[in-house]
Amino acid sequence: MSCSNKNNAPVIKFSADSNSIVIKNIDEASLFQVKNAYRTNSDSVNFISVLLTPNETDSLQTEKEVSGKINLIGDSVLFIPETPFLKGKTYLVESYVGVKFADGGKLFKGTIKHSLQPQQQILKR
Protein backbone atom coordinates (compact mmCIF):
# COMPACT_ATOMS: atom_id res chain seq x y z
CA MET A 1 0.00 0.00 0.00
CA SER A 2 1.46 3.36 -0.92
CA CYS A 3 0.95 6.75 0.69
CA SER A 4 -1.35 9.19 -0.99
CA ASN A 5 -0.97 12.94 -1.24
CA LYS A 6 -4.71 13.59 -1.44
CA ASN A 7 -5.77 16.85 0.19
CA ASN A 8 -9.38 15.79 0.56
CA ALA A 9 -10.87 16.72 3.91
CA PRO A 10 -12.57 13.96 5.87
CA VAL A 11 -16.32 13.62 5.35
CA ILE A 12 -18.51 14.45 8.36
CA LYS A 13 -22.13 13.27 8.29
CA PHE A 14 -24.89 11.60 10.28
CA SER A 15 -24.95 7.81 10.27
CA ALA A 16 -27.71 6.17 8.21
CA ASP A 17 -29.97 5.99 11.29
CA SER A 18 -28.99 9.51 12.50
CA ASN A 19 -28.04 8.12 15.90
CA SER A 20 -24.37 9.08 15.57
CA ILE A 21 -21.99 11.28 13.59
CA VAL A 22 -19.46 9.57 11.35
CA ILE A 23 -16.14 10.95 10.13
CA LYS A 24 -14.96 9.04 7.04
CA ASN A 25 -12.40 9.47 4.27
CA ILE A 26 -9.56 10.01 6.74
CA ASP A 27 -6.10 9.94 5.19
CA GLU A 28 -3.79 7.15 6.34
CA ALA A 29 -1.40 9.35 8.34
CA SER A 30 -4.22 11.03 10.25
CA LEU A 31 -5.96 7.71 10.89
CA PHE A 32 -2.70 6.33 12.29
CA GLN A 33 -2.45 9.31 14.68
CA VAL A 34 -6.10 8.96 15.72
CA LYS A 35 -5.67 5.24 16.44
CA ASN A 36 -2.52 5.85 18.52
CA ALA A 37 -4.17 8.59 20.58
CA TYR A 38 -7.29 6.46 21.05
CA ARG A 39 -5.26 3.43 22.19
CA THR A 40 -3.31 5.57 24.66
CA ASN A 41 -6.36 6.99 26.42
CA SER A 42 -9.74 6.44 24.78
CA ASP A 43 -11.57 8.25 27.60
CA SER A 44 -9.89 11.60 27.02
CA VAL A 45 -9.63 11.88 23.24
CA ASN A 46 -11.19 15.05 21.91
CA PHE A 47 -11.08 14.77 18.12
CA ILE A 48 -14.56 16.11 17.64
CA SER A 49 -16.95 18.52 19.32
CA VAL A 50 -20.65 18.78 18.58
CA LEU A 51 -22.72 21.87 19.35
CA LEU A 52 -26.50 22.24 19.21
CA THR A 53 -27.08 25.55 17.45
CA PRO A 54 -30.08 27.78 18.11
CA ASN A 55 -32.78 28.09 15.45
CA GLU A 56 -34.44 31.42 14.82
CA THR A 57 -37.46 30.41 16.89
CA ASP A 58 -35.52 28.79 19.76
CA SER A 59 -35.21 30.33 23.19
CA LEU A 60 -31.67 28.93 23.23
CA GLN A 61 -29.42 31.96 22.73
CA THR A 62 -26.02 30.30 22.38
CA GLU A 63 -24.66 27.01 21.15
CA LYS A 64 -24.89 24.14 23.61
CA GLU A 65 -22.23 21.42 23.69
CA VAL A 66 -23.50 17.90 23.11
CA SER A 67 -21.90 15.29 25.38
CA GLY A 68 -21.04 11.95 23.91
CA LYS A 69 -18.58 9.15 23.38
CA ILE A 70 -16.04 8.65 20.60
CA ASN A 71 -15.47 5.22 19.05
CA LEU A 72 -13.21 4.00 16.30
CA ILE A 73 -14.86 1.59 13.87
CA GLY A 74 -12.52 0.42 11.12
CA ASP A 75 -11.35 3.53 9.28
CA SER A 76 -14.04 5.82 10.70
CA VAL A 77 -14.49 7.90 13.86
CA LEU A 78 -17.96 7.80 15.44
CA PHE A 79 -19.45 10.32 17.84
CA ILE A 80 -22.33 8.81 19.81
CA PRO A 81 -24.30 11.37 21.87
CA GLU A 82 -25.40 10.65 25.43
CA THR A 83 -28.93 11.62 24.44
CA PRO A 84 -30.32 11.18 20.91
CA PHE A 85 -30.00 13.94 18.35
CA LEU A 86 -33.23 15.92 18.09
CA LYS A 87 -35.17 15.88 14.84
CA GLY A 88 -35.40 19.31 13.21
CA LYS A 89 -32.35 20.65 15.09
CA THR A 90 -29.07 21.89 13.63
CA TYR A 91 -25.68 20.80 14.91
CA LEU A 92 -22.24 22.33 14.35
CA VAL A 93 -19.54 19.67 14.21
CA GLU A 94 -15.90 20.67 14.66
CA SER A 95 -13.26 18.06 13.99
CA TYR A 96 -9.48 18.08 14.19
CA VAL A 97 -9.22 14.70 12.45
CA GLY A 98 -7.08 15.15 9.36
CA VAL A 99 -6.32 18.83 10.03
CA LYS A 100 -2.87 19.75 8.79
CA PHE A 101 -0.76 22.37 10.55
CA ALA A 102 0.86 23.60 7.36
CA ASP A 103 1.11 22.40 3.81
CA GLY A 104 3.54 23.49 1.15
CA GLY A 105 1.12 25.95 -0.41
CA LYS A 106 0.54 27.74 2.88
CA LEU A 107 4.26 27.89 3.55
CA PHE A 108 4.98 29.57 0.23
CA LYS A 109 1.97 31.90 0.37
CA GLY A 110 2.71 32.96 3.95
CA THR A 111 -0.81 32.11 5.13
CA ILE A 112 0.07 29.76 7.99
CA LYS A 113 -2.00 30.36 11.09
CA HIS A 114 -0.46 29.92 14.52
CA SER A 115 -3.24 27.68 15.77
CA LEU A 116 -4.99 24.78 14.14
CA GLN A 117 -8.39 25.48 12.63
CA PRO A 118 -10.90 22.63 12.90
CA GLN A 119 -12.89 21.36 9.98
CA GLN A 120 -16.48 22.51 10.50
CA GLN A 121 -19.67 20.96 9.21
CA ILE A 122 -23.30 21.94 9.83
CA LEU A 123 -25.65 18.95 10.07
CA LYS A 124 -29.43 19.15 10.27
CA ARG A 125 -31.24 16.19 11.80
More reliable by pLDDT, 112 or 43: 43
Split at pLDDT 50, 70, 90, the class of 35 is confident
48-53, strands of its sheet edge to edge: 64-65, 48-53, 90-95, 119-124
Instruction: Note the pLDDT tens digit of each residue in 51-88.
Output: 999 877 766 678 899 999 999 998 999 999 999 999 98
Distance CA(119)–CA(124), nearest Å, equals 17
Instruction: Note the pLDDT tens digit of each residue in 81-92.
Output: 999 999 989 999
In order of their start, the domains of the chain are 11-124 (2.60.40)
